[in-house]
Structure 1
Amino acid sequence: MHVDPEPAAGPLPSTPLRLVTLEVESHVAADGWDQPPRLYALVPTADLVEHEPALKERLSAQLEAQPDGFTSIEQDGLPPDRPLEETLGGIEWPDAVAGCVAVVERVMLPPEAEDDLPDDEAELLTFVAEHPDRRDVRLVAAVTRDGGRHSAVRARDPHDAPLLEGPDLVPGLVDHLIRTLT
């Protein structure tokens, strides 16, 4: 999976999609590393409160701060023995879902390592596991039905690694998510 390591020029706008992406990343990061993939539906908070009045008090501060914001709803039951990208291929969201967010941990190698990748799957796993420049990363990708996209990448090491973010950091995962909304 390719991640564009170039940070965005200048500060990024605080759009509802960016804010919910960062919120999900923070939520998942609080649980530490070595987690299975996670998937969230994005529902406009105003719509959620309208259809579930019992949530109004709980979500009132969020709704007041971001009237056009999203609430993320974690989806349980992702198959643990199947790659997230395969699972996403079988998902279709109902119309009430305005977008979705996926979080997955991956091992990344520098681009120059691609020429040395073995074809055999067992050899490939060993090569990646033993590569001195490998990096464990957490990828967060979010999309909306109207074409919005945002992503974030955090390296496991160093402990205080900065969060990289932008609309096109993990285009492959973003593409998989977009297909679930069409």
Structure 2
Amino acid sequence: MTDDQHAEVVLARCVREVVEFADADGWGNPPQMFALVPTADLVAAEPGLLDQLDDGSELTPIAQDAFPDDIAGGSMAMDEFLATTTWPPAVQGCVLVQEIVVLPPDAESDLDEALVPLLADDDAADAAGRAAAHAHPGRRDARLIAGVLRHGTSLCLLQIRPEDDDGFGELDLRTYPNLAPGLVEALHHTLE
């Protein structure tokens, strides 16, 4: 296994742990950030945690304090917050979980109609876009989970909320080429 492949496996394991944590809390939650720290460093600092950690995990996700109330998933406020966030060298990566609205491809024209008159005002365009997305009949709630490691590895997943709201169903995790590249880039910048 190459170093890049190993990093992908380590990150995927952390992201899966974060997804399971978020899923256990149900839907309707604010965004949450996790620092990825070396498990060995964590155990050295807090030996009492050894029994609570996954065996063999190279990195452990640590939930961070809640975001301020005005920061919603996918918002301009989230972008601004991430632009001012930095991690200490001990943090090897991070994962962000946020609830978003996804729309079918044919919804683009509806959004364009809502936004065109407001393009000169970023805040008004953002608010109008969110309102149009939330009002669209084809909308689906989802979680966007983005994880990055300090040296460049990244993973971005989309979890669509089940329509029947079966809290005990299988996790429906999807990925796509170039899923949320701006978010991945913003998370990488927090580690510089």
| TM-score, shorter chain, exceeding 0.5 | yes
1:14 shift after superposition: 7.1
2:68 aligned with 1:79, yes or no?
Answer: yes
2:15 matches 1:26: no
1:180 to 177, 181, 190: 190
Counterpart of 1:147, as a letter, is G
Give the gaps of 5 or more residues in structure 2: 1-6, 72-76, 119-124
RMSD, matched Cα? 2.3
- Aligned residue number for residue 16 of structure 1: 10
Write out the 4+ residue segments of structure 1 that deviate beyond 4 Å after TM superposition.
none
1:140-172 Cα offsets, whole Å, 9 max, x none, are: 100000111112211113345621146743222
Match of 2:132 among 116, 127, 133: 127
The range that moved more, 110-119 or 97-106, is 110-119
Q: Secondary structure at the match of 2:91?
A: coil
Residue 80 of structure 2 is aligned to residue 70 of structure 1: no
Counterparts in 2 of 1:58 and 1:33: CA distance versus 1, 3 Å: closer
Deviation digits for residues 67-113 of structure 1 (CA, Å, limit 9, x no counterpart): xx211111114111133222111110000000000000011222332
How far did residue 135 of structure 1 move?
A: 1.3
C-alpha contact 1:37 1:84 (8 A) present in aligned 2? no
Question: Do the aligned partners of residues 166 and 24 (structure 1) sit closer, same or farther apart at CA in structure 2, a change above 3 Å counting?
Answer: farther
If each structure's helix is expressed as a fraction of its own residues, which one has the higher value? 2
1:171 corresponds to which of 177, 181, 185:
181
Identity of paired residues, percent? 42
Which of 95, 103, 109 aligns to 2:103? It is: 109
**Alignment size in residue pairs:** 165
| Among candidates 33, 36, 41, match of residue 42 of structure 1 | 36
1:123 to partner: Cα distance: 4.3
Check 1:126–1:56 CA distance in 2 against 1; reply closer, same or farther (3 A cut): closer
- Which residue, out of 144, 147, 160, partners 1:155? 160
Where structure 1 has 5 or more consecutive residues not aligned to the other structure, the ranges are: 1-12
